[in-house]
Structure 1
Amino acid sequence: MRTIFGKIFHDGKFFRRMLIDKDDIITMDNENYAPDGSEIMDYDDSVICPPFADCHIHFFQTGLYLGALDLSDVNTKSELLESIVGLSLNDYRIGDVVWMWGFDPEDTMPNSEELDSVAQGIPIFLRRADGHSCSLSKSAQKMLPPDMRIDEGIYSGAIQEKVVDYFLRMVPLPELTIAAERVIQTALDVGAMRIHALVPYIRWAEHLMNIESQFPVEIEIFIESTDVQSVYELGLEQIGGCLLVDGSIGSHTAALNEPYYDKPDSRGMLYYDDTELLDFFHKAYQKGLAVVMHCIGDRAIEQYLRCAEMASGGEKLHRWRIEHAELITFQQLERVRELGITLSVQPAFETRWGMENGLYKKRLGERARYTNPIRTALDMGILLLGGSDAYVTPIDPPAGIWSAKNHPKPSQRINLADAIKMFTENPVLWANSPDVWKIKGNINLMLMAGDFSSPQTAVKQIIRL
């Protein structure tokens, strides 16, 4: 028997002692003694958490970008162009293209001519940090079919998705295996042992199924496809992931009911009409697949809910999920609760874009006061899952927990226990998993350095029992 002492988080509370017999946790309580003959593991007042989850990782893309040129510290187009000069760009090739990512410009994306001025004749694919805009050098554009080329070389909306799809499909499977290894190691470094892996293609999902047993984490696969029959035949219980109903706020493509503050001629875009979306929902509902989709703007959330209500006849939709829900209204939250839908949210978005004079304020004006209402959703009894949207923000559950309890809008801050549950117990509840502490049958404890009172709180050690 083992006796663990520490500040142990379980079921929304902290306990002093955990007793483990063989491979099972017998009890957790606040006693200060160890049974005779037990092995004592005393961590004083250190916080001990169950394994963390990240419920929104663009799995292979994140791994690919970890081998690409990271431009997240570059703020303007001129800085970007200056930073590329003199680099050995071939070090960042993935297949035949140099990949760059993480650029979140205060001004604009560079066009093809500007990229060519520093590209050394090498094909460059530059993706905006939010994943909803990209720029191509002229040599990269020449790799595209003629009908996908545009003079400026800056892509957003549906055409951007086609361009990204074109280049991703060129990545060979051995590169995907390397990408998977990078993601898993990054996740383990921060204690994320439950991964919701968003995968764009059935072939990639099959590859992940073939290699996942070699990794010491649990992976839940989400295929971003509307091919209901193929996903059903693979034995998955959900379909979608970051399957887009709309775009992003940063790229002016999130679908809003009211125009953008800084672009009054635009309300963003919907990627499906109601007929297409409802047909997909009906097919998935009939096969028992939970539909998981990206909806950021209130107009996109409205379309998802409208079609979900029609597909289910108003019946509960357990395990169906809306990803992001950044501009969800109170009335929409009420319908989410009535349908039993889960919200998969990214608290770090507020830390990145929700601060005073941040991106939300620039794009939305006064509506920025209402982004990511996680406290309101929690108070309404809606199940909240925490994630990073990696590659958009880093895989880092402790940082997500800190962001949730330090939301820039004080009325939307949640307490520490609820924030930890978003990244531990709630994902287990959503997945109907048997034990929050066990990964592939083994108990794992996350020994923390810090108590989540600062954004530097991190996993000190993963204790595998």
Structure 2
Amino acid sequence: MTERTSRTVLLRGGNVYSPADPFATAMLVEGEHIAWVGSDGAAEAYAASADEIVELDGALVTPAFVDAHVHATSTGLALTGLDLTGCPSLPAALERIAAFAKAAGDPGGVLIGHGWDETGWPEGRPPTLAELDDAAAGAALYLSRTDVHSALATTALRALAPGLDALPGHTPDGPLSRDAHHAVRRAALAHLTADQRRDAQLATLRRAAELGIGALHECAGPDISSEEDLAALLALAAETDGPEVFGYWGELGGVETARRLGAVGAGGDLFVDGALGSHTACLHTPYADAEHTGTAYLTAEQIADHVTACTEAGLQAGFHAIGDAAITAVLDGVRTAGERLGSHRVRAMRHRIEHAEALDPETVAAFAELGLTASVQPAFDACWGGPEGMYAQRLGAERAAALNPFAALLRAGVPLAFGSDAPVTPLDPWGTVRAAAFHRTPEHRISVRAAFTAHTRGGWRALGRDQDGVLVPGAVASYAIWEVTDLVVQAPDTRVAGWSTDPRSGTPGLPDLTPGHPLPACRHTVVRGRTTYHR
């Protein structure tokens, strides 16, 4: 990591997205903090004493993004290894697996890949175990499904997880889910070499910096990664210039472990249920394409005990809950904890629900009542929403159209923090903002400005740091510089006037994110006054 300095940097000649001055064109940074924002004319007073002057040439300066839900090692393995996302067919997937295994040779560990999705393949099925073994040439291979709630595992990898065939979710010839999936994932990650892990984590940090991301919330836990993995990531992030990494440890009763690891919360991917794509999200009524209601991993009483312990310890709790029955269990548990400790104490902790997809007006109101933060992923709707998408296959069109109601959450005053759940969907902050503003269900759309706030300041608020994520004097200097064309103020509904460029509105503009328009390109990322990426 480079030395911290008190260098003064003046940026001028662009557009600075700041609530302190909606017409700002310049910004002064002193060390780790923003010292001033204003006009180019006023900036002349600082030019002579600045250590560096950055000519923006019309570029846009914004707060750096915060991705509020990532899995850094798995993301890096997808970036550097086998990624089956978008693979068009089963034969094409097997070809990619074979080429990857051949190129890897003997890696000294387990081969890992991600992203297969049989719902988009003409064959409509994943590979059999025999097909997988043949393609992998006998290697130990772990392949997570796109939602990371089921996986394919070769015979060699299954052998590394003793007792696998007795666990719930085991199938002898197909994908593994539930406890069986967790067991093979633990085995796969345990057999990563130190170099594989470090290379993957570095790849994630580099990619995040290239995209203008200044902070990541790592959602770790015994079923999604390991203590060793989280400790290594936090140590690596501390050695680099950024992005910053904030760890969450998702283990029931894991308060002391979270503290020992340096995590900011005992939550994140603490699973109450699974995912819709794998038929493991827990529902009140059965799936449209399966005669069951999914999987419940925790009871309301267990949730209440965890929230109580976290609140008493001064740590955030957080839960992975996608289906409506899982969300109900979390709300009941948080309410019970409030009855035990006092609702004001529980609300003050801003406990989180990750994903929170299947909501109705009553559960949205409960989020507001209980002071919960909704840590959500708009790209899920972009990938699987709409009348012909995977959600409609699983739930039917009517129930699918009710998922991810971002506008209702905002109207109720529920804090939103946007993330990617990478590698489930890629690190893609502007794409995430676009997905929220152009939700496939129009009544769930929010303005670009609200979506941008959820992906910047919202991530900091989810950590309890309300002062961060804005470009104002005194704030931490974590920002990105973007090549843009027009700046507009976009409404959330394309059926009415989509934007206004009237300067009398006093509303700072953001890039035009209408589908089809190119997304902004990052030119420069700075975290706490230190450059993490420059193009």
TM-score by length of 1: 0.91
Between the aligned partners of 2:106 and 2:415, the Cα distance in structure 1 is 41
Q: How does 1:278-317 map to 2 (within 5 A)?
A: 278-313=304-339, 314-315=343-344, 316-317=347-348
Residues 288-320 of structure 1, C-alpha deviation per residue, up to 9 Å, x if partnerless?
A: 221111110110000011011111223325321
Aligned-residue Cα RMSD (Å) equals 2.6
Corresponding residue number in structure 2 for 1:79: 92
Corresponding residue number in structure 2 for 1:221: 247
The alpha-carbon distance between structure 1 residues 3 and 59, as it changes in their structure 2 partners (threshold 3 A), is closer
The alpha-carbon distance between structure 1 residues 327 and 173, as it changes in their structure 2 partners (threshold 3 A), is same
Corresponding residue number in structure 1 for 2:65: 52
The alpha-carbon distance between structure 1 residues 133 and 274, as it changes in their structure 2 partners (threshold 3 A), is same
For structure 1, which runs of at least 5 residues remain unmatched after alignment? Answer: none
Corresponding residue number in structure 1 for 2:436: 404
Aligned residue among 434, 447, 450 for 2:481: 447
The alpha-carbon distance between structure 1 residues 15 and 89, as it changes in their structure 2 partners (threshold 3 A), is farther
Between the aligned partners of 1:401 and 1:95, the Cα distance in structure 2 is 40
**Does 2:156 correspond to 1:139?**
yes
For structure 2, which runs of at least 5 residues remain unmatched after alignment? Answer: 1-7, 48-52, 485-510, 530-535
Between the aligned partners of 2:105 and 2:46, the Cα distance in structure 1 is 52
Amino acid aligned to 1:368: A
Aligned residue among 443, 460, 465 for 2:522: 460
Aligned residue among 202, 208, 212 for 2:233: 208
Between the aligned partners of 1:85 and 1:114, the Cα distance in structure 2 is 10
The alpha-carbon distance between structure 1 residues 174 and 273, as it changes in their structure 2 partners (threshold 3 A), is same
Between the aligned partners of 2:309 and 2:117, the Cα distance in structure 1 is 38
Corresponding residue number in structure 2 for 1:420: 452
Q: How does 1:322-341 map to 2 (within 5 A)?
A: 322-341=353-372
Aligned residue among 258, 270, 274 for 1:247: 274
**Does 2:133 correspond to 1:125?**
no
Corresponding residue number in structure 1 for 2:210: 189
Amino acid aligned to 1:406: F
Q: Tell me if the contact between 1:344 and 1:384 (Cα under 8 Å) persists in the aligned partners.
A: yes
How big is the shift at 1:78? 3.5
Q: Tell me if the contact between 1:337 and 1:380 (Cα under 8 Å) persists in the aligned partners.
A: yes
* Other structure's SS at 1:243 match: coil
* Other structure's SS at 1:15 match: coil
Q: Tell me if the contact between 2:164 and 2:180 (Cα under 8 Å) persists in the aligned partners.
A: no
Q: How does 1:19-38 map to 2 (within 5 A)?
A: 19-20=27-28, 22-23=30-31, 24-29=33-38, 31=39, 33-38=41-46
**Does 2:26 correspond to 1:9?**
no
Amino acid aligned to 1:68: G
Q: Tell me if the contact between 1:92 and 1:98 (Cα under 8 Å) persists in the aligned partners.
A: no
Q: Tell me if the contact between 1:60 and 1:180 (Cα under 8 Å) persists in the aligned partners.
A: yes
- Higher share in strand: 1
Deviates more, 1:43-52 or 1:324-333: 43-52
Between the aligned partners of 2:358 and 2:148, the Cα distance in structure 1 is 18
Q: Tell me if the contact between 2:64 and 2:213 (Cα under 8 Å) persists in the aligned partners.
A: yes
Amino acid aligned to 1:132: H
Between the aligned partners of 2:126 and 2:441, the Cα distance in structure 1 is 30
Corresponding residue number in structure 2 for 1:358: 389
* Other structure's SS at 1:33 match: helix
How big is the shift at 1:26? 4.4
* Other structure's SS at 1:66 match: helix
Amino acid aligned to 2:380: F
Residues 209-253 of structure 1, C-alpha deviation per residue, up to 9 Å, x if partnerless?
A: 332222222111111222222223445441121121100010010
Deviates more, 1:211-220 or 1:356-365: 211-220
Q: How does 1:93-172 map to 2 (within 5 A)?
A: 95-106=108-119, 107-148=124-165, 150-172=171-193
